[in-house]
Structure 1
Amino acid sequence: MAYSTYRLDDVCEIIMGQAPRGEAYNTELEGWPLIAGPGDFGLVRPSPKKFTRKASKISRPGDVIVGIRASIGSRVLADGEYCLGRGVAALRPLPGLHSQFLWHWLGHSAAMLASKGRGATFKQLSREDIGELEISLPSVEEQDRRAKILDQAEILLARRQEAITLFDDLAAATFIDMFGDPASNPHDWNSSTIGHVAEQVTDGEHLTPRREAEGIKLLSARNVRDGYIDFSNVDHIGPEEHARIRRRCDPRRGDVLISCSGTIGRVAPVETDEPFSLVRSAALVRPRMSLVTTDYLAGYLRTPALRARMLRAARSSSHANLFQGPLRNLPVLCPPIGLQVEFGLRIRSIARLRGAHTAHLAKLEDLFSALRYRAFEGKL
């Protein structure tokens, strides 16, 4: 069935954000919570970090707040009044457009919205870029029906995502339960340094590698996630370039990788036998297994106490990088190796459960995408 098609700015008000004056910022909960950009988005609702005493652009409950710089097209639902910074815009439905229908339509149209981003330094959207989008509208009753179906499917996704987060929390809690907080060392474990407990500490290639369309994977800090390596967005190099780089840095199973620039301090164990290379933004630590196990060292470095130490060490340099010297000097507590092995067994049991939930989440996401496509093609 064909429905009437409208420009988006004909069926909703578009409120472009504006940065408040610097002196108005605060963290004392005074004024309006500030949504400066997608970095202040939670999974569905805003998650602001700062407040401002002065605001010229303010959201209302029910507005859809959309990222218009950096993570273009990401979105959250406003559950109250927020100051809108210049990295976001609020979309306020007019009569005839259901708020939840707009929410799901924006998710369906995220790629199209992102493709409109323009700019040499960083991409951003204008009011016209948003307003010229075309949306087909059935009756409000039909919009409500479709939105409710998609709402239920989205709830299932959110619950699965929450379960995965709980597994991450369980892993962190298991470390603290077995070894205590490294900041206070309640069990009085012997202390050493990364340089002493590691066979090798190095970072990736300093020169710009010669990249190829395909070949051996070349990883950077962006691929080092919290607890795992993300191989989904990598560069490639040829065998000769890999052979040259591996003479200095040759990652292997059992190593621990650390992001040393950008988001500093993410830690992931190497759990693959596939060869790959690193660039300078990622570091490699190869533990002496007689002193520390891979699972223990990765868990230790992921504690808030050690993440804070890595950030302080990075900020002490002029370029905010975690260099090899400060990395080697990081303190490491050394519990009995038997206890470390037991920790590894527990962590791997948690990881298996997390993996099963993650695989199920991927299937749910595929089903949700298909369902949303049918909803906006009039086939739901």
Structure 2
Amino acid sequence: MSTETAPLGDVASFIRGITFKPGDVAPRGVDGSVWCLRTKNVQAELDLSDVWAIDASFVKRSEQYLQAGDLLVSSANSLNLIGKCSWVPELESDATFGGFVTVLRGNPQLVDRRYLYHWFSSSRTQAQVRSFSRQTTNIANLDLRRCFELAIPLPPLAQQKRIAAVLDQLNTLRCKRREAIALLDALTQSIFLDMFGDPVVNSKNWPMRKLGEMGSLDRGVSKHRPRNDPSLLGGDTPLIQTGDVAGSGGYITGFTSTYSAIGLKQSRLWPAGTLCITIAANIAKTGILTFGACFPDSVVGFTASPARVEYVRAWLSFLQKTLEKAAPESAQKNINLAILRDLQVPYAGEEMIQDYSERVQAIEASKGANRAHLATLDELFTSIQHRAFSGTLWDHEATGEAA
């Protein structure tokens, strides 16, 4: 069975937003005003935490009012955000949208709108849309003409609805796993505050120790210049960068670069259990190594007992914003090793620190199980999405085979 497609412009339309000046923004709830959504509201789920309002007279055409089932698309933004979209649910107020976003509205007689959402938000379609964008000096713009020409796979409407329902169910399960992980993260912080109080003000008046007295603090090593010399890279030794630490969620379980034998020789290998602390660009972001690795001097390694490492990681998470704000800035923000070593740490004693560490490890085990399930769901979602939009899922349905 061949995959039937249609140009996107045959089954949906793009609607441009309204234009207004910053001074035209009105308080929400004023008589005669309507909500006005903008690029900031376009997130994985439509973000309604910061919504502007505008006088309804700025809406010149009825089609510029949002409808449930619309896709709100970022159409003038940085390149990596072009095409990003949010599903518009039923809203509690009349709403329009600004000129930096565009609405993609499917014709419900030809395309199921949830199917359209899943297709347009898929990684393949998003990459195509971004590749079409027109780049100016500071901003990229969505090329609507080329987007209209995109070929959307178009099985019968009933099949579209079934595909969308399956993807919706999987996505609901993924969201629940993410929520569970977020709740466990919050639980870790709650336990810390309950046991030790607010570490910023030392609300329980624990005796203080310098961080340099809690364990060993040293900068990573990368002696060779230039640091990106190809001879240094591509071997078997993990190389951790500041971005790996910042995005680790507290535990570094993967890496994107490696050192060769030459790279390892001019660096230092840190053991599993080391707390990595960023001191440049990303300030005071932390992650505990789960394997041996090297890192450059933009990262500091803290080594101590496992319980102290866990305690210091949690303590720094409360101070991160403060340290980042206070960091001196030249070409980029940075702090030095002396600043870290002199930081005052509330010290509640080894018994309480060990107790906290054991509780955290139990929570981490639960988070690990949730992450593993989430990874399985992500893989299944991507697989079904690919099969649905390449036509192979329809072939199974047409022949009566299991999908």
Task: Quote the Cα distance in structure 2 between the aligned partners of 1:145 and 1:318.
Answer: 55
**Alignment CA distance shift 1:271-1:46 (3 Å):** same
Determine the structure 1 residue equivalent to 2:263.
241
Is 1:64 the counterpart of 2:71? The answer is: yes
Task: Quote the Cα distance in structure 1 between the aligned partners of 2:221 and 2:24.
Answer: 42
Is 1:317 the counterpart of 2:329? The answer is: yes
**Alignment CA distance shift 1:331-1:43 (3 Å):** farther
2:309 to 282, 294, 318: 294
**Alignment CA distance shift 1:230-1:25 (3 Å):** farther
**Alignment CA distance shift 1:254-1:214 (3 Å):** closer
Paired residue secondary structure (2:202) = coil
1:374 to 370, 387, 394: 387
1:343 to 342, 345, 356: 356
Paired residue type of 1:235: S
Determine the structure 1 residue equivalent to 2:254.
231
1:203 to partner: Cα distance = 5.0
**Alignment CA distance shift 1:101-1:235 (3 Å):** same
Normalising by structure 1, we get a TM-score of: 0.81
After superposition, residues 1-380 of structure 1 pair within 5 angstroms as: 1=1, 4-15=4-15, 21=21, 32=35, 34-36=37-39, 40-46=41-47, 49=50, 51=52, 59-67=66-74, 69-79=79-89, 80=91, 81=95, 83-84=97-98, 86=100, 88-95=101-108, 96-108=110-122, 109-116=125-132, 119=135, 125-203=142-220, 205=222, 207-209=225-227, 210-211=229-230, 212-224=233-245, 225=247, 226-229=249-252, 231-232=254-255, 234-246=256-268, 250-272=269-291, 274=292, 276-280=293-297, 282-289=298-305, 293-303=308-318, 306-314=319-327, 316-324=328-336, 325-376=338-389, 377=391, 378=394, 379-380=396-397
Task: Quote the Cα distance in structure 2 between the aligned partners of 1:158 and 1:258.
Answer: 30
1:345 to partner: Cα distance = 0.8
Task: Quote the Cα distance in structure 2 between the aligned partners of 1:131 and 1:183.
Answer: 54
Contact 2:272–2:289 (8 Å) recurs in 1: yes
Paired residue type of 2:39: A
Task: Quote the Cα distance in structure 2 between the aligned partners of 1:85 and 1:329.
Answer: 50
**Alignment CA distance shift 1:350-1:34 (3 Å):** same
Return 5+ residue gaps in structure 1 as ranges. Answer: none
Paired residue type of 2:164: A
Deviations 1:323-371 (Å, cap 9, x if unpaired)? 2144344332111111111111111111111111111111122222222
Task: Quote the Cα distance in structure 1 between the aligned partners of 2:270 and 2:27.
Answer: 42
Paired residue type of 1:218: L
**Alignment CA distance shift 1:352-1:84 (3 Å):** farther
Task: Quote the Cα distance in structure 2 between the aligned partners of 1:298 and 1:204.
Answer: 21
1:175 to partner: Cα distance = 1.3
1:71 to partner: Cα distance = 4.0
Number of residues of Structure 1 aligned to a counterpart in Structure 2 = 366
1:270 to partner: Cα distance = 1.7
Contact 2:71–2:85 (8 Å) recurs in 1: yes
Normalising by structure 2, we get a TM-score of: 0.77
**Alignment CA distance shift 1:371-1:123 (3 Å):** same
**Alignment CA distance shift 1:298-1:6 (3 Å):** same
Paired-residue identity, %: 24
Task: Quote the Cα distance in structure 2 between the aligned partners of 1:25 and 1:287.
Answer: 53
**Alignment CA distance shift 1:137-1:85 (3 Å):** same
**Alignment CA distance shift 1:26-1:321 (3 Å):** farther
Paired residue type of 2:171: E
1:67 to partner: Cα distance = 4.6
Instruction: Identify, as 1 or 2, the structure richer in helix.
Output: 2
Determine the structure 1 residue equivalent to 2:400.
none
Contact 2:281–2:334 (8 Å) recurs in 1: no
Task: Quote the Cα distance in structure 1 between the aligned partners of 2:69 and 2:212.
Answer: 53
The RMSD of aligned alpha carbons is 3.5
Return 5+ residue gaps in structure 2 as ranges. Answer: 398-403
Paired residue type of 1:104: H
